Structure 1
Amino acid sequence: MTAYRKISLTMLTVFILVYLLGAVFYIGQARHDVQRELIGVHGLADSLGSPGNLPASVVENMRHMRPLAGTASAAKAGDSVPSWFSSMIAGNVSFAPVNGWRIDPSDEAEEIWEGFLLISFSYAVGMVLCFAALYGSVRQGLRPLESLASGLEAVAGGKLTSRLPRQDIRELDALAGRFNTMAVALENEQKTVSLLLNELLQLQDRERSHIARVLHDDLGQYLTGIRAQARSWVYDPELDEQHKQQARDMAGHCETLQQHFRHLLQDLHPLVMEQLGLGSAIRHLTEQWQQLSGLDCRLDMDDRLPQLTDEQQTHLYRFLQEALNNISRHARASCATLAVAGNTQGLRVEIRDDGEGNDNLPEKAGLGLRSMRERARCLGGKVQFFSKAGEGTCICLAVPLPNSGSGSGGAL
């Protein structure tokens, strides 16, 4: 039930009770006045004598007294007053005829009925005006609350820049001020958290890059040396066949270890992106993902992509890496499609799979999805997740780049 309807029902109940109580008091007082008036008229009839002794004009203009001979015409004089009202006004009071006069309260009842109608009409007009004023006041009072509800809805949707305007009513203005203070605090807190998360992601990427370089420059070289030494033992004439076979096995183990080592380095830091650009890194990522997951991945990518900073390229690469890893781990899919399109206005990425899907994917977001959302925020873009049970999942990333042009071939 709306606030206006609830207040209106309460006011209507009060108005009806007041009207009924006023009607009871009005009729009670009118009944008392009629009885007192009739007593006076009875005394007047006793002192006037018979109607036949008075002029006809005087008899016709007499109030509350009727000649007994004109009873039928006199009864018609009070037909405009409801009988139930007349009985309430006159009550059970009756007077015997006096000197040929009949005491008739119809004139007094008609006056009281007209007054009752006038008061009732005035009361109805006043009630209508009160309800109109109530409607205007409630609407004016609810408008700031509707604005507050819209502001809260915007804040719940992530729009922490929402602010409420100043209000004419002091209490509502104080409420709007507290809302604005809360929104400012939340916005500042979100900026702080976002800054910390961004710095954490950058630190994580730098640590990965550092570990990858150490593994590549130190351990990788040692592993290459061990493999070369084992290969040289195969051709050593002083070794028997058993030792040569052990050398071949060692070289094979070193080669297998180097393959896993390269996958680990690529996962830690895509060196190919530094050497050949973002496009080549994305192609290498899909190829490596197919090898490791055993799933098919169809890549549809523009030949020329918008120019991105090194930080943006890293965030985009990690975003795609996390999306593909989620497909291989959780989607139970047989294939995936990766589309990357760019123009002068920005970059659009779409990742689809034919897996089992999930109707409650946004609500069941794990660390991977939260990481993707944060990567999208760091890119200044927006990510959306569409998933339905039995129909797979689609992830759409839109990164607006209004000030960027098309990148050169070296950016791929």
Structure 2
Amino acid sequence: MLAFHALYRALKMTVFRKISLLMLLLFTAIYGVGAVLYVQQAQYDIGRELAAVSGVAQSLGAAETLPPDVVQSLRHMRPTQGSGSAVNHEVPFWFASIVTGERAFEVVNGWRIDPADEVEEVWEGFVLISASYAVGMVLCFLALFWMVKQGVRPLTELSSAMAAVADGCLASRLPSQRVMELDTLAQRFNHMVLALENEQQTVSRLLNELLQLQDREREHIARVLHDDLGQYLTGIRAQAKSWVYDPELNERQKQQARDLAGHCETVQRHFRHLLQDLHPLAMEQLGLAGAIQHLAEQWQHLSGLNCQLTMDEHLADMSGEQQTHLYRFLQEALNNVSRHANATCATLAVTLNAGELHIELRDDGAGTDNFPEKAGLGLRSMHERARCLGGRVRFLSKVGEGTKIQLAVPLHPSCAFGSLL
């Protein structure tokens, strides 16, 4: 099967090569047919010329009776006592043999009938026609190359534009073409890309609104749980602790009160983790840098993995929505490390450099060679949050070398303040 695919790729040619090969075969066939017809005509002409010369030789007297200048001026006739054949050595032997048919030269009335002059003329004509044919063929191939190049250029532009669209660049457009059919194709392609661009903008806007709605719902649920259920748990725990010091209760009832207070404390601890997942209250209280540090510490405590955090002393002053997107991005990235990476530690670096906020998260996990193909909902949400931040995200992973996630968020110069470590 692999050999078949290799042979198929080897047989695949460009349009110009295919047309050139067909044209070469056609020119060769025409040249071959023309050469055969030319040789047949030459053989007929030489035979007719020799027949005429034989008649002349019979009417003439012996060569010795004629003046030498007359003998030298005669064509196709040589005295038998002369130097023999006068065939030009510049004429190839194979060509002379073909056109003369390797016939023995006749001797008539003391004259040898020799078609050397006629063969030379035929050869010169053959060379001239062949050279003209070759020049015409070269000109045809040059014209063919130019025409194919002009015809294939729109297809090459279309292929490049389609490759750009496949890479996510929906701003690619084809210019107008001078050929009506190609111009129609280019316009339809531009309309298709425009429709895709509009659809992508719509989907991105809906995803952004969905993420914002999700964050608002999480915030609402977190506040309701904190204000209502949290207060109830606090009250129950306080009541249970007060029973411990009630003199009217026996020791068994006091122990039950201690157990109830301990259970309430456990529920409250998990409750705080749940609230932190639903809405990062630490960001409102500690700011972005404090929230990131708290997130790293909480993830390290819950996952049991080591997290080495490196962060600049001052981060950019971002809007609440941007901070939420960035926090959720880091939260999802750390959760992926603990769930899927099989790592023992992670390294998180948050720095400001050249007007951009750079984030890099590394782990020492198993890694994978087809990381984009395994993209799930979490990775898609990370891509969308990076897009909402106007940033660029890269996922680099290799088997045995772990995974690295890089995020670069451009910032306005006025957003950065303070000095960097």
TM-score under structure 2 length normalisation: 0.92
The correspondence for 2:77, drawn from 65, 80, 102, is 65
Q: Does 1:383 align with 2:393?
A: yes
Deviation per CA, 1:88-128: give whole Å up to 9, x if none.
21225556422222211111111101100111111111112
The answer for unaligned runs of 5 or more in structure 2 is 1-12
Q: Which residue of 1 aligns with 2:196?
A: 186
User: CA separation in 1, counterparts of 2:95 and 2:356?
Assistant: 83
Q: Which residue of 1 aligns with 2:358?
A: 348
Amino acid at match of 1:22: G
Q: Does 1:286 align with 2:296?
A: yes
User: CA separation in 2, counterparts of 1:239 and 1:151?
Assistant: 82
User: CA separation in 2, counterparts of 1:210 and 1:245?
Assistant: 37
The correspondence for 2:247, drawn from 227, 237, 256, is 237
User: CA separation in 1, counterparts of 2:241 and 2:392?
Assistant: 53
Q: Which residue of 1 aligns with 2:5?
A: none
Residues 390 and 409 of structure 2 are in contact (CA less than 8 Å); yes or no, is this contact kept in structure 1?
yes
User: CA separation in 2, counterparts of 1:327 and 1:380?
Assistant: 24
Alignment RMSD: 1.8
User: CA separation in 1, counterparts of 2:182 and 2:279?
Assistant: 55
Residues 318 and 415 of structure 2 are in contact (CA less than 8 Å); yes or no, is this contact kept in structure 1?
no
SS at 1:23 equivalent? helix
Q: Does 1:45 align with 2:61?
A: no
Structure 1 residues 169 and 404: CA distance shift in structure 2, 3 A: farther
Amino acid at match of 1:65: M
User: CA separation in 1, counterparts of 2:387 and 2:138?
Assistant: 56
Amino acid at match of 1:352: R
SS at 2:85 equivalent? helix
Amino acid at match of 2:156: E
Structure 1 residues 231 and 376: CA distance shift in structure 2, 3 A: same
Structure 1 residues 304 and 344: CA distance shift in structure 2, 3 A: farther
How much does 1:171 deviate?
Answer: 2.8
How much does 1:5 deviate?
Answer: 2.4
User: CA separation in 1, counterparts of 2:156 and 2:411?
Assistant: 36
Identity of aligned residues (%): 67
Q: Which residue of 1 aligns with 2:410?
A: 400
User: CA separation in 2, counterparts of 1:180 and 1:56?
Assistant: 87
Residues 368 and 399 of structure 2 are in contact (CA less than 8 Å); yes or no, is this contact kept in structure 1?
yes
Amino acid at match of 1:391: E
Amino acid at match of 1:253: H
Q: Which residue of 1 aligns with 2:124?
A: 114
Residues 394 and 406 of structure 2 are in contact (CA less than 8 Å); yes or no, is this contact kept in structure 1?
yes
User: CA separation in 2, counterparts of 1:232 and 1:18?
Assistant: 113
Give runs of aligned pairs for residues 10-409 of structure 1, distance below 5 A.
Answer: 10-70=22-82, 72=83, 74-91=84-101, 96-343=106-353, 345-407=355-417
How much does 1:345 deviate?
Answer: 1.2
SS at 1:277 equivalent? helix
User: CA separation in 2, counterparts of 1:45 and 1:87?
Assistant: 24
How much does 1:403 deviate?
Answer: 4.9
SS at 2:372 equivalent? coil
User: CA separation in 1, counterparts of 2:391 and 2:409?
Assistant: 4
Amino acid at match of 2:138: V
Deviation per CA, 1:274-305: give whole Å up to 9, x if none.
22211111111111111111111111111111
How much does 1:366 deviate?
Answer: 1.8
SS at 1:340 equivalent? strand
User: CA separation in 2, counterparts of 1:344 and 1:90?
Assistant: 89
Amino acid at match of 2:379: L
User: CA separation in 2, counterparts of 1:394 and 1:82?
Assistant: 75
SS at 2:416 equivalent? coil
Residues 154 and 160 of structure 1 are in contact (CA less than 8 Å); yes or no, is this contact kept in structure 2?
yes
User: CA separation in 2, counterparts of 1:114 and 1:342?
Assistant: 83
How much does 1:139 deviate?
Answer: 2.6
SS at 1:16 equivalent? helix
Deviation per CA, 1:49-94: give whole Å up to 9, x if none.
3233332222111111122222x2x414432222222222122555
Q: Which residue of 1 aligns with 2:15?
A: 3
User: CA separation in 2, counterparts of 1:327 and 1:98?
Assistant: 109
Amino acid at match of 1:231: K
SS at 2:108 equivalent? coil
User: CA separation in 2, counterparts of 1:312 and 1:407?
Assistant: 17
Amino acid at match of 2:314: R
User: CA separation in 1, counterparts of 2:397 and 2:106?
Assistant: 95
SS at 1:168 equivalent? coil
Structure 1 residues 231 and 251: CA distance shift in structure 2, 3 A: same
User: CA separation in 2, counterparts of 1:264 and 1:258?
Assistant: 10
Residues 343 and 406 of structure 1 are in contact (CA less than 8 Å); yes or no, is this contact kept in structure 2?
no
Amino acid at match of 2:237: R
Structure 1 residues 281 and 105: CA distance shift in structure 2, 3 A: same
Residues 305 and 345 of structure 2 are in contact (CA less than 8 Å); yes or no, is this contact kept in structure 1?
yes
Residues 365 and 403 of structure 2 are in contact (CA less than 8 Å); yes or no, is this contact kept in structure 1?
yes
Residues 355 and 416 of structure 2 are in contact (CA less than 8 Å); yes or no, is this contact kept in structure 1?
no
Amino acid at match of 1:41: V
Residues 78 and 111 of structure 2 are in contact (CA less than 8 Å); yes or no, is this contact kept in structure 1?
yes
SS at 1:163 equivalent? coil
SS at 1:75 equivalent? coil
